[in-house]
Amino acid sequence: MEPVLLRARGIEGSRTLASYRSRGGYDGLRRALELGPEEVTKEVINSELRGRGGAGFPTGRKWTFVPKDHPGPKYLVCNADESEPGTFKDREIIEYDPHLVLEGVAIAAYAIGAHTAYIYIRGEFVRWARILEEAIAEARREGLLGPDVLGSGYALDVWVHRGAGAYICGEETALLESLEGKRGFPRLKPPFPAVVGAFGKPTVVNNVETLACLPSILTRGAAWFASIGRPRNTGPKLFCVSGHVQRPGVYELPLGVTFRDIIYEHCGGIRGGRTLKAFFPGGSSAPVLTAAEVDVKADFDACAEAGTMLGSGGVIVLDDTVDMVEAAANLAHFYAHESCGQCTPCREGSDWTVDILERILAGHGRPEDPETILRICRFASQGMTICPLGDAFALPISSLLKKFRSEFDERIAAATPAPQKKYPVLPWAGPRPGFGR
């Protein structure tokens, strides 16, 4: 497949506006301004583009939820808070083609009628925030952004907002809170951001990759986009393959390719001639798939059928050297550390799971531990929390536990009882006569 999102990778000076223009840059925006907002939305709906951030919600449909006749401002927020473990696709796009993102932002903002767009970029992406700033300045100078976009009279300002490094701020409502300068706590929904979003105004939050798809949809047409991949799962997708493969990295492949193709064909198989044990199909928040499930198609619907999710497309490959108990402990530690602390099940449950798993790792597991963890996971997921972080923590850990139960049981079978905690003895008390005997 010819690259769409990564076509600038490897081109010298691809970040400059001149280079982007030589590749047909900003034609999509020009076409969008000719079509008008309704037609643009219709085109995106026809392309069956689904959000690339993780949930896979149809992008065009999301735009239509914004009230049309809303007085006052609306906002577009580009979610570049790429914090899902195993995901590094947005950075790649921004690194080589920042104007692709800006054009996508401009098209989406035009479609929903926003005159202000924010790019919320994670705090650690200092270099990429700077790249975006430079690109925005360049685009403004050339009249591609600003008070009069391409002489059409449409005004658009784009601002880069750097986050402070919290995983939870990738969740759209927490992102909006953080954008407003508050603590990154996810909001209770409804109302959804499309109705009450940033600063209380209708807001659409789209992922970088989603927005980067828009220019080519407009220049080459919805039908072309829909021809890539499978029905309802259309378009190119970036897969970030990490872990024990020969050639880890970002791969642009059509949706619907199998994980076998991704791992064995594109990434050259498992490192060091070892065998595949398991892999996370869409970042660490997606339930794990075993080597037997490697023929699952990498798209939204097929993953959902397999009981997992495509998520952000971060494929984490684990070979047979990986200890699944340690993997679970590692995951649990991340989610306990990143839990915002609002909802009881996630806050208490994630920390509790860490304690149990660390005890198992220390060689003091107990036979009832796996059931306790499964119970915690059951009641921390499926709508027990405000935001999906409860699911993100509970589902992969419970999947590891269910699919690799024997590893946990072996550890526990070999465990010794935890040493009795030594309580300080009061030096002046001694044995107390006649009390508690």
CA distance 435 to 148: 87
188: amino acid identity, one letter: L
Strand, helix or coil at 125? coil
In terms of CB distance, is 104 or 370 closer to other proteins? 370
In terms of CB distance, is 275 or 372 closer to other proteins? 372
Write out the residues near other proteins by the rule CB under 8 A: 166, 183, 188, 336-345, 347-352, 355-356, 359, 366, 368, 372, 375-376, 378-379, 382-386
CB of 23 to other proteins, least distance (A): 43
In terms of CB distance, is 119 or 168 closer to other proteins? 168
In terms of CB distance, is 321 or 372 closer to other proteins? 372
Tell which residue, 158, 209, 205, 215, has the closest CA to residue 32.
Answer: 215
CB of 342 to other proteins, least distance (A): 5
CB of 359 to other proteins, least distance (A): 7
Tell which residue, 223, 219, 236, 217, has the closest CA to residue 1.
Answer: 236
Q: State how far the alpha carbon of 352 is from the alpha carbons of 83, 256, 288, 358, in Å.
A: 23, 38, 21, 10
Instruction: Please give the full DSSP string across 187-225, using - where no structure is assigned.
Output: PPSSSPTTTS-GGGS-EEEEEHHHHHHHHHHHHH-HHHH
Contact between 162 and 94 (Cβ < 8 Å): no
CB of 85 to other proteins, least distance (A): 16
Distance of CA 38 to the CA centre of its chain: 28
In terms of CB distance, is 215 or 370 closer to other proteins? 370
Tell which residue, 260, 266, 241, 309, has the closest CA to residue 52.
Answer: 309
CB of 404 to other proteins, least distance (A): 21
In terms of CB distance, is 250 or 392 closer to other proteins? 392
CB of 393 to other proteins, least distance (A): 11
In terms of CB distance, is 241 or 387 closer to other proteins? 387
Cross-strand bridge partners of residue 117? 76, 158
Torsion (CA) 126, 130, 135, 136 in degrees, nearest 10: 100
In terms of CB distance, is 169 or 204 closer to other proteins? 169
CB of 384 to other proteins, least distance (A): 6
CB of 168 to other proteins, least distance (A): 8
Cα atoms in the Cβ-side hemisphere of radius 13 Å centred on 143: 6
Q: Residue 290: which H helix or E strand, with range?
A: strand 289-290
